[in-house]
Chain A
Amino acid sequence: MSSDEAKKLSHAATADAGPVITQKSLNDDVLRMISKPGRLWWIIFIIDLMILAVGLIAERNQILYGIGVAGHTRPVMWASYVANFVFWVGIAHCGTLVSAILFLFRSHFRRAVYRVAEAMTVFGVLTAGLFPLLHTGRPWFAYWLFPYPNQRQLWPNFRSPLEWDVFAVTTYLTVSSIFFLVGIIPDAAVARDRTNNRWLKLIYTVFSMGWTGSNNQWKNFYGAYLYFAALATPLVLSVHSVVSWDFAMSQVPGWHSTIFAPYFVAGAIFSGVAMVINLLIPIRKAFKLEHIVTVDHIEKLSKLVLLTSSIVGYSYLCEFFSAWYGPSKVERDLFWWRATGHFAWAFWIMFTCNVIIPLSLWFKPVRRNMGLLFVLCLSFNVGMYFERFVIIVTSLAHPFNPSTWDVNYRMSWTEGAILAGSFAWFFMFFLIFVRLLPAFSIAEIKETLTAPMRRKPS
Chain B
Amino acid sequence: MTDSVVFKRRDFLKLVGLGAVGAAGCAPPADKLIPYLVPPQDILPGIGYWYASTCRECPVGCGILVKSRDGRAIKIEGNPAHPVNRGGLCARGHAGLQGLYDPDRVTGPMMKTAGAWKPVSWDEALQTATAKLTEARSAGKSVALVTENATGSFHKLSAAWAAAAGGTHLVYEPFNTHALREANRRTFGVGAVPNYDFARANMVISFGADFLETWGNPVGQARGFSEMRARPESYFVTVEPRLSNTGANADEWVAAKPGGEMALALGMAHVILSEGLGGGNGGMIDAVRDWTPEAVELQTEVPAATVRRLAQKFANAKPGLAVAGGIASQSEHAVAMIAAVNLLNHVAGNVGETVRFDRTLDFDSVASLGDLQTLAGQMADGSVGALVVHGANPVYAAPAWTGFAAAMDKVPFKISLSGVLDETTEHCDLILPSLHALESLGDAATARGVFSIIQPTMQPLPMFKTKAAGDTLIALARGAGFGSFPSTWSEYLKGEWRGMHGRFGGGKDFGGFWDQTLAQGGVWEDVTGTSPGWSGTPVFAAPELRGSGDLALVLYPSPNLFDGRGANKGWLQEIPDPTTKAVWGSWAEIHPDTAKKLGIAMGDAIKVETESGSVSVPAFVWAGVRPDVVAVPLGQGHTSYGRFAKDRGVNAVALLAPVQDAASGAVAYFGERAKVSKTAAAGELVRTQRERSQHDREIAAVIPVSALLGLNTGRGATEGPHATGEHGAGAPGAHGGAAAGEHAGGHHVMAGSLMLHPLQSKPGKYTEPRIKDPNAKVPPHSVSAAEQPVIVRSPRQIPVDRGNYGTATHRWAMAIDLNSCTGCTACVAACYAENNIPIVGPEHIKRGREMSWIRIERFEENLKPGPNDVRFVPMMCQHCSDAPCETVCPVYATYHNPEGLNAQVYNRCVGTRYCSNNCPYKVRAFNFFDYSAPEKPSFAFPEPLNWQLNPDVTVRSKGVMEKCTMCIQRILEGKGTAKDEGRAVRDGDITTACAQSCPTQAIVFGDLIDPESNVSKLSHGERRYWVLNELNTKPGVTYLKKIQREVAST
Using a CB–CB cutoff of 8 Å, the interface residues on chain A facing chain B are 65-68, 71-78, 132, 135-138, 141-142, 144-145, 154-157, 159-163, 166, 246, 249-252, 327-330, 333, 396, 399-406, 408-409
Q: Is the CB of B922 within 8 A of A163?
A: no
CB distance from B334 to the nearest CB of A (A): 37
Q: Which residue of A lies closest to B693 (CB)?
A: A402
Q: Is the CB of A406 within 8 A of B848?
A: yes
Q: Which residue of B lies closest to A75 (CB)?
A: B922
Q: Which residues of B contact A160 (CB under 8 A)?
A: 887-890, 914
Provide 21 A-B residue pairs closer than 8 Å at the C-beta atoms, listed in order of the A residue.
Answer: A68-B938, A73-B847, A74-B924, A74-B925, A75-B917, A77-B916, A78-B914, A137-B913, A137-B960, A138-B910, A157-B889, A159-B888, A162-B914, A166-B890, A400-B921, A400-B1031, A401-B697, A401-B857, A403-B873, A405-B690, A408-B846
Task: Decide if B482 is an interface residue (CB 8 Å cutoff).
Answer: no
The interface centre, meaning the residue of B692, B913, B917, B921 with most chain A CB atoms within 10 A of its CB, is: B917
Q: Tell me which of A68, A157, A405 contacts B844 (CB under 8 A).
A: A68
CB distance from A65 to the nearest CB of B (A): 6
Q: Which residues of B contact A68 (CB under 8 A)?
A: 844, 849, 928-929, 938, 958
Q: Is the CB of B910 within 8 A of A403?
A: no
| In the bound complex, CA of A74 to CA of B852 (Å) | 12
Q: Which residues of A contact B598 (CB under 8 A)?
A: none
Q: Which residues of A contact B1027 (CB under 8 A)?
A: 401
Q: Tell me which of A67, A76, A166, A403 contacts B689 (CB under 8 A).
A: A403
Q: Is the CB of A402 within 8 A of B959?
A: no
Q: Which residues of A contact B924 (CB under 8 A)?
A: 74
CB distance from B399 to the nearest CB of A (A): 38
Q: Which residues of B contact A145 (CB under 8 A)?
A: 890-891, 910
Interface residues on B, range: 35 or more
Q: Which residues of B contact A404 (CB under 8 A)?
A: 689, 848, 922
Q: Is the CB of B888 within 8 A of A161?
A: yes
| In the bound complex, CA of A454 to CA of B801 (Å) | 76
Q: Is the CB of A136 within 8 A of B912?
A: yes
Using a CB–CB cutoff of 8 Å, the interface residues on chain B facing chain A are 689-697, 699, 758-762, 844, 846-850, 855, 857-859, 873, 875, 884, 887-892, 908-914, 916-918, 920-922, 924-930, 936-938, 958-961, 1027-1028, 1031
Q: Is the CB of B918 within 8 A of A401?
A: no
Q: Which residues of A contact B912 (CB under 8 A)?
A: 132, 135-137, 162
Q: Known contacts A77-B926, A401-B697, A402-B693: does B913 contact A72 (CB below 8 Å)?
A: yes
| In the bound complex, CA of A157 to CA of B692 (Å) | 37
CB distance from A454 to the nearest CB of B (A): 58
The interface centre, meaning the residue of B760, B855, B887 with most chain A CB atoms within 10 A of its CB, is: B887
A-B complex: 9 closest residue pairs judged by Cβ atoms: A137-B911, A137-B959, A68-B928, A77-B913, A74-B848, A138-B959, A404-B922, A66-B958, A66-B929
Q: Is the CB of B889 within 8 A of A330?
A: no
Q: Is the CB of A333 within 8 A of B859?
A: no
Q: Is the CB of A163 within 8 A of B928?
A: no
Q: Is the CB of A138 within 8 A of B1031?
A: no
Q: Which residues of B contact A401 (CB under 8 A)?
A: 697, 699, 857, 875, 920-922, 1027-1028
| In the bound complex, CA of A250 to CA of B1031 (Å) | 11
| In the bound complex, CA of A126 to CA of B891 (Å) | 23
Q: Which residues of B contact A406 (CB under 8 A)?
A: 690, 848
Q: Is the CB of A144 within 8 A of B910?
A: yes
Q: Is the CB of A78 within 8 A of B913?
A: yes
Q: Known contacts A75-B848, A144-B910, A329-B758: does B888 contact A403 (CB below 8 Å)?
A: no
CB distance from A408 to the nearest CB of B (A): 5
| In the bound complex, CA of A144 to CA of B910 (Å) | 8
Q: Is the CB of A154 within 8 A of B908?
A: yes
Q: Known contacts A71-B847, A401-B857, A402-B691: does B916 contact A251 (CB below 8 Å)?
A: no
| In the bound complex, CA of A162 to CA of B887 (Å) | 10
- With A66-B930, A157-B887, A249-B888 known, 11 other A-B pairs at CB within 8 A are A74-B924, A137-B958, A156-B892, A157-B891, A327-B762, A328-B759, A330-B759, A400-B1028, A401-B699, A403-B691, A403-B855
Q: Which residue of A lies closest to B937 (CB)?
A: A65
Q: Is the CB of A137 within 8 A of B927?
A: yes
CB distance from A191 to the nearest CB of B (A): 42
Q: Which residues of B contact A329 (CB under 8 A)?
A: 695-697, 758-759
| In the bound complex, CA of A364 to CA of B42 (Å) | 92
| In the bound complex, CA of A104 to CA of B958 (Å) | 50
CB distance from A145 to the nearest CB of B (A): 5
Q: Is the CB of A250 within 8 A of B888?
A: yes
Q: Tell me which of A135, A157, A251 contacts B884 (CB under 8 A).
A: A251
Q: Is the CB of B857 within 8 A of A403?
A: yes
CB distance from A134 to the nearest CB of B (A): 11
Q: Is the CB of A403 within 8 A of B849?
A: no
Q: Which residues of A contact B691 (CB under 8 A)?
A: 402-403, 405
| In the bound complex, CA of A160 to CA of B912 (Å) | 11
CB distance from A230 to the nearest CB of B (A): 30
Q: Which residues of A contact B758 (CB under 8 A)?
A: 329
Q: Is the CB of B890 within 8 A of A66?
A: no
| In the bound complex, CA of A246 to CA of B914 (Å) | 9
The interface centre, meaning the residue of A67, A68, A72, A327 with most chain B CB atoms within 10 A of its CB, is: A68
Q: Which residues of A contact B692 (CB under 8 A)?
A: 403
CB distance from B602 to the nearest CB of A (A): 13
CB distance from A94 to the nearest CB of B (A): 28
Q: Which residue of B lies closest to A402 (CB)?
A: B691
Q: Which residues of B contact A144 (CB under 8 A)?
A: 891, 908, 910
Q: Tell me which of B689, B846, B911 contacts A138 (CB under 8 A).
A: B911
CB distance from B61 to the nearest CB of A (A): 35
Q: Which residue of A lies closest to B700 (CB)?
A: A403
Q: Which residues of B contact A141 (CB under 8 A)?
A: 910
Q: Which residues of B contact A154 (CB under 8 A)?
A: 891-892, 908
Q: Which residue of B lies closest to A247 (CB)?
A: B917
| In the bound complex, CA of A329 to CA of B695 (Å) | 10
CB distance from A332 to the nearest CB of B (A): 10
Q: Tell me which of B850, B892, B926 contacts A137 (CB under 8 A).
A: B926
Q: Is the CB of B922 within 8 A of A74?
A: yes
Q: Is the CB of B910 within 8 A of A399?
A: no
Q: Is the CB of A163 within 8 A of B890?
A: yes
Q: Which residue of B lies closest to A155 (CB)?
A: B892
CB distance from A248 to the nearest CB of B (A): 12
Q: Known contacts A65-B938, A403-B857: does B695 contact A333 (CB below 8 Å)?
A: yes
CB distance from B882 to the nearest CB of A (A): 11
Q: Is the CB of B922 within 8 A of A399?
A: yes
Q: Is the CB of A138 within 8 A of B916?
A: no
Q: Which residues of A contact B694 (CB under 8 A)?
A: 402-403
Q: Which residues of A contact B858 (CB under 8 A)?
A: 403
| In the bound complex, CA of A401 to CA of B1031 (Å) | 12
| In the bound complex, CA of A298 to CA of B889 (Å) | 43
| In the bound complex, CA of A68 to CA of B958 (Å) | 9
The interface centre, meaning the residue of A77, A328, A329, A406 with most chain B CB atoms within 10 A of its CB, is: A77
Q: Which residues of B contact A135 (CB under 8 A)?
A: 912
CB distance from B280 to the nearest CB of A (A): 47
Q: Is the CB of A252 within 8 A of B918?
A: yes
Q: Which residue of B lies closest to A166 (CB)?
A: B890
Q: Which residue of A lies closest to B847 (CB)?
A: A73
Q: Which residues of B contact A142 (CB under 8 A)?
A: 910
CB distance from A152 to the nearest CB of B (A): 9
Q: Which residues of A contact B857 (CB under 8 A)?
A: 401, 403
Q: Which residues of A contact B918 (CB under 8 A)?
A: 250-252
Q: Tell me which of B761, B884, B927 contacts A66 (CB under 8 A).
A: B927
Q: Known contacts A138-B959, A250-B884, A329-B758: does B875 contact A403 (CB below 8 Å)?
A: yes
Q: Which residues of A contact B890 (CB under 8 A)?
A: 145, 156-157, 160, 162-163, 166
CB distance from B845 to the nearest CB of A (A): 9
Q: Tell me which of B695, B846, B875, B959 contacts A67 (CB under 8 A).
A: B959
Q: Which residue of B lies closest to A161 (CB)?
A: B888
Q: Is the CB of A136 within 8 A of B959?
A: yes
